Structure 1
Amino acid sequence: MDVSFLGGPHPQRGVGVVAPFDFALDRELWRWVPAEVSLHLTRTPFVPVEVSLDLARLVSEHETLGDAVRALNAVAPEVVAYACTSGSFVGGVAGEKAMREAMTRAGALPSLTTSGALLDALTELGARRIALVTPYTVSVTQSLEEYLAEAGITVTDRAFMGLTRHIWKVPYRDVADMARRAARGHADALFIS
């Protein structure tokens, strides 16, 4: 920790994170955060539904997102991110945009989603053809492919696990094996959801 002689630690920049109730990968987020950034996490309310398109819709309702962003306002983050890939692509490109707008209205600050950031990253890379790895069922994976197609992205190859719960328990080795299988074609990039 960088500490000035008398003033204590340097101020940190805050990033608010709205995660679904079943998100158990907080450590993954912290791995990539620079030292000067603090993550302020909040979760959506519990919904007794397995990972599915229905769950993705329930954890991304605008009222739920608004409540979460208003809770994060107490710590005054500079930006708010919605950390649920399926929840942010399930409504298509227009649905993702509406989610960001609802979050921005609730907190009067810039907002982004995992799926929106994915499209921004692919644009930055100039990637139009991607290989795809997901832990999801076939229907959720197809919904992601539809979202990408709507944005002009072609999925060249895919690998998915068909999981309906405990996604955070998938070992890195399994993910790496799936990535190797999916990245055999002529893709510009690989996306691991």
Structure 2
Amino acid sequence: MNTAAACCETEPAQAPANTSRIGLIVPSSNTTMETELPELFRRQSQATGHRYTFHSARAGMKRVNREELAAMVGKAADCAASVSDADVDVIAYACLVAVMAQGPNAHVGSEQTIADAAANNGHPAEVTSSAGALVRTLQEMGARRIAMVTPYVPALTQTVADYIEGAGIEVVDSVSLSVDNNLEVGRLDPQQLPGIAQKLNREGVDAVILSACVQMPSLAAVQTAEDQLGVPVITAAVATTYEILKALGHTPAISGAGRLLAGDLVPAVK
């Protein structure tokens, strides 16, 4: 038996010193997270020289309803063990509303479940979730009042609003695009988002969430919306990227995606 070949089949190769491995857990119908995040990290690489690779596990979910969201949450541990086989440095659980629909502060338990599964599989990793990343990033920015755009039906948008408000952040206004087919969410035109955001009640808001969903494409519109609205603009994907960089100990240096990822955090509101 060829010992070297056997080792190659059972042990992931160690990443080079200037490379970080990012694990993603995404809904099976997600088509956006695995395009927007690599593009954001490509810009980070361009600015810093550090390289990032992506490794995904998929959990079945086609329609954005409470039953399928709950089923996806139940698959988190198995997905975490699977993606940790690649010896990733950080794992991002990328389905915001699946976690938020489980109740207040549910991201804490979800992130712990994923961390435990990876560690028990012999490959411990830092963990974030798009739900946790969004509320923690808003808190770090000092945002007390926000407005947001979601692709969800109104009832799920209210679930997201309640979750954010449970973290001490007032949701002044929201827009629901009422798309429940996750593939169709991924086909929405991001160029429409700045115009939609312009219609939000933004009086006294500290930030706008342009896409409170990792499946709704938004990267192409973040900088435009921020320039037009005059307040910080983030998305679920932007917040997840920010927390991945923090977990890796890397300073954000990403162009064209708003002030947060450019490394210019907004001071806390007094």
TM-score band w.r.t. shorter chain:
0.7 to 0.9
Q: Do the aligned partners of 1:52 and 1:137 also contact (CA within 8 Å) in 2?
A: no
The residue aligned with 2:179 is 163
Is 1:107 matched up with 2:118?
yes
Task: Provide the alpha-carbon RMSD of the alignment.
Answer: 1.6
Q: Do the aligned partners of 1:13 and 1:77 also contact (CA within 8 Å) in 2?
A: yes
The residue aligned with 2:40 is 32
Q: Report the more deviating stretch, 179-188 or 135-144.
A: 179-188
Q: Indicate which of 30, 37, 40 corresponds to 1:23.
A: 30
The residue aligned with 2:73 is 60
- Secondary structure of the residue aligned to 1:27 is helix
Q: How does 1:1-193 map to 2 (within 5 A)?
A: 11-25=18-32, 26-33=34-41, 34-35=44-45, 36-44=51-59, 46-47=60-61, 50-61=63-74, 64-108=75-119, 109-165=125-181, 166-182=184-200, 184-191=202-209, 192-193=211-212
Name the aligned partner's letter for residue 132 of structure 1: M
Partner Cα distance (1:68, 1:167) in 2? 23
Name the aligned partner's letter for residue 84 of structure 2: N
- Secondary structure of the residue aligned to 2:92 is strand
Q: Do the aligned partners of 1:128 and 1:154 also contact (CA within 8 Å) in 2?
A: yes
The Cα of 1:53 is off from its aligned counterpart by 2.4
- Secondary structure of the residue aligned to 1:23 is coil
**Structure 1 110/93 Cα, relative in aligned 2: closer, same or farther at 3 Å?**
farther
Q: Do the aligned partners of 1:183 and 1:190 also contact (CA within 8 Å) in 2?
A: no
Partner Cα distance (2:115, 2:186) in 1? 28
Q: Do the aligned partners of 1:92 and 1:146 also contact (CA within 8 Å) in 2?
A: no
Partner Cα distance (1:23, 1:91) in 2? 20
4+ residue segments displaced more than 3 Å: none
Unmatched 5+ stretches in structure 2: 1-15, 46-50, 120-124, 213-270
**Structure 1 183/79 Cα, relative in aligned 2: closer, same or farther at 3 Å?**
farther
Partner Cα distance (2:66, 2:187) in 1? 20
The Cα of 1:42 is off from its aligned counterpart by 1.4
Q: What do residues 106-135 of structure 1 show as CA deviations (whole Å, max 9, x unaligned)?
A: 002221110100111111110011001000
- Secondary structure of the residue aligned to 1:141 is helix
Partner Cα distance (2:162, 2:137) in 1? 18
- Secondary structure of the residue aligned to 2:105 is helix
The Cα of 1:23 is off from its aligned counterpart by 0.6
Larger proportion of strand: 1
Q: Do the aligned partners of 1:157 and 1:185 also contact (CA within 8 Å) in 2?
A: no
Tell me the TM-score normalized by structure 1.
0.88
Unmatched 5+ stretches in structure 1: 1-8
